Amino acid sequence: MAIRVLPSEVVSKIAAGEVVERPASVVKELIENSLDAAATQIAVEARSGGVELIKVSDDGAGIPSSELELAFHRYATSKMSDLEDLGRILSLGFRGEALPSIAAVADVEILTQTSSDSAGNYICLRKGEVVRREGRARPPGTTVTVSRLFRHFPARLKFLKSTSTENGHIAHLLSQYALAFPEVRFSLLLDGRLSLRTTGNGDLREIVSEIYGPELAQRMLKVERRDGLAEVTGLISPPASARSTRNYLSFFVNRRWVRSPLLARATEEAYRGLLSDGQHPIAVINVSLPAQELDINIHPAKAQVKFCHEQTVFGDVRKAIEETLARTPMAARPKAAPFSPGSGRWQSPHMIMDNEPAFAVAQLPAMELPVLRILGQLASTYVIAEGPDGLYLIDQHAAHERILYDRILEQKSRKEVEIQGLLEPITMELSPREEETLRSNTELLTEFGFTIEPFGNKSYLIRAIPAIMARADIAEIIAMLLDTLVNKESPDRWEDKIAQSLACHGSIRAGQHLSNEEMRELIKQLEQTRQPRTCPHGRSTMIHLSSHRLEKEFGRIS
Ligand code: ADP
Ligand code: MG
């Protein structure tokens, strides 16, 4: 095919694809416009995941009557005028792309009034063209209504996830903007339900309370450091209140919500040694920098920024958080694990066989276990046992995980999950996104033995749990399950993941003393599982030192 310049209609659709990935992208652009217009109140409404309707109303500056149509022209913006401006942008928008992009993929109506125009104006667009204009009254501000998103783009529609997943994205987005702008009053209605409301009184801790619950909000630690290139402010969790994903890290650079691996690393580095593996902090971090220290024009949805002096910013953020953590009383820090392999107190069994990976039993073809006789427990972590062919070291946690994992899936397939009702139900606060996830996965969680009921504003009551979870911190596990479910793809894998999590949290830990009776029971049950030699994550449950190997090691044979 010959090279040709695409017709403008095609160009605008391609560009729209970059800006408007999913309903939440529309909400993002509209909220940013409201914030740029200095709104103090922003009300957002979405129906059917935002596909049927998205409506954003603000009390901002409004668009003058004479400029209303212009706002829907590509690269029409009131926020910059020349190349120099690009280097000192303080507004959230600047490319003049959002409104035309949205109008290219949905029906758009806009009603706006400035404080100087005598009347408000309404226009209605179809396929990017204005089809109606009329005068209409409203208080100063702007309401944009976007309906039937992607109606003419079946491929896009198909690509979208379930209504509740899309609602979840919108709820998460609103939460992030509420965190970035505590002085703005936000509200979010999802299918008629109030999902989030903030007061706009400027108190960040209050927003955290709205989103993550009052208990966590009250424990969050204040960050404030103003003597670097970057000013760093915000709130961070004490090490004892960690989460199992990075979903709770929020970064704002000059009030722009950004995804930043650099800032995430700086944050996690500050917590180094305070959190165990797989734990992540909760943090809301605002970074302010002179505009010329930033390039904000590197991402189609403006979700990333580039710092001119990356290492300096990295250091400023790390130090700000470190200083806050250093002021934290020890009581808020988690206890050290009772035994960690390689700590020098014991020689880890792995060390004997460093160069002999072939001895990890998991790699042997046979799946069944021989009959084992318990000899004792090593470091309250490993069971030592003797078999017909040598010595076995069994990781008690991994072994128990395997047992519980098989049991859960088996019970679930028979629809006979053992349930434990709670005498006193546990109350749990969920963030707007977690609520959406819970809604879309209620059935799955019920099948696994959870009974969770709504209990007023953002609160939920846990009335029953799978029996195998009895020993665990229930609220924390549910929060973690919801985290893993946020982006679930195929249901099978997620069943598996839930089973893995439950098994992991319900099982005995390293460092726990076991009686001979308990060890015997553990091994007996392990023998009955389908894959006794690996835990559900695929790691070995045991190490086998054959008689032959022992003889060789001791020089009895050569
Ligand atoms: P950009 O935000 O990059 O300027 P947009 O396409 O998002 O581009 O918006 C185009 C213009 O429309 C903005 O520059 C602004 O002047 C005006 N505008 C859009 N939304 C609003 C709003 N809610 N309040 C006031 N003005 C608005
Ligand atoms: Mg904009």
Residue in 430, 486, 482 with CA at minimum distance from that of residue 461 = 430
CB 533 within 8 A of CB 361: yes
Model pTM greater than 0.85?
Answer: no
With a 6 Å cutoff on the Cβ, whether 294 touches ligand 1 is no
Domain 204-332: assigned CATH number: 3.30.230.10
With a 6 Å cutoff on the Cβ, whether 114 touches ligand 1 is no
Ligand 1: distance of its center to the CA of 71 in Å?
6
With a 6 Å cutoff on the Cβ, whether 25 touches ligand 1 is no
Residue 105: strand, helix, or coil: helix
Ligand 1: distance of its center to the CA of 200 in Å?
22
If one counts every other C-beta atom within 10 angstroms of the C-beta of residue 133, the result is 13
Domain 338-558: assigned CATH number: 3.30.1540.20
* pLDDT computed for residue 37 by the predictor: 94
Nearest ligand to the CA of 76 is: 1
Average confidence (pLDDT) over 445-462: 88
Of 44, 99, 102, best ligand 1 pocket probe by most atoms within 8 Å of the beta carbon: 99
Share of the chain above pLDDT 90, in %: 45
Read off the pLDDT of residues 296-332 as tens digits, 9 standing for 90 and up. Answer: 777 777 778 889 999 999 999 999 999 998 887 644 4
Of 12, 19, 36, best ligand 1 pocket probe by most atoms within 8 Å of the beta carbon: 36
DSSP calls for 289-315: --GGGEE--SSTTS---EETTHHHHHH
Q: What is the DSSP letter of 168?
A: H
Helix (H) or strand (E) holding 553: helix 547-553
Question: What is the distance between the alpha carbons of residues 346 and 338, in angstroms, rounded to a whole number?
Answer: 12
> What ligand 1 atom has the least distance to the C-alpha of 94?
3
With a 6 Å cutoff on the Cβ, whether 141 touches ligand 1 is no
Residue in 301, 303, 302 with CA at minimum distance from that of residue 19 = 301
What residue spans define the domains of the chain? 8-197, 204-332, 338-558
Read off the pLDDT of residues 475-520 as tens digits, 9 standing for 90 and up. Answer: 888 888 888 787 665 556 778 888 888 888 888 888 889 998 899 8
Residue in 222, 225, 291, 298 with CA at minimum distance from that of residue 255 = 291
Cβ burial, residue 376 (10 Å; 0-12/13-18/19+): exposed
Residue in 97, 129, 123 with CA at minimum distance from that of residue 110 = 123
With a 6 Å cutoff on the Cβ, whether 392 touches ligand 1 is no
Question: What is the distance between the alpha carbons of residues 98 and 296, in angstroms, rounded to a whole number?
Answer: 16
CB 262 within 8 A of CB 307: yes
Residue in 223, 187, 188 with CA at minimum distance from that of residue 205 = 223
Residue whose entry in the numeric block shows the structure tokens 């930043």: 260
Read off the pLDDT of residues 20-79 as tens digits, 9 standing for 90 and up. Answer: 889 999 999 999 999 999 999 999 999 999 999 999 999 999 999 999 999 998 777 777
For domain 8-197, the CATH architecture is 2-Layer Sandwich (3.30)
CB 439 within 8 A of CB 164: yes
With a 6 Å cutoff on the Cβ, whether 40 touches ligand 1 is no
Pairing type for strands 283-288 and 249-253 reads parallel
> What ligand 1 atom has the least distance to the C-alpha of 32?
2
Ligand 2: distance of its center to the CA of 177 in Å?
15
Question: What is the distance between the alpha carbons of residues 137 and 118, in angstroms, rounded to a whole number?
Answer: 9
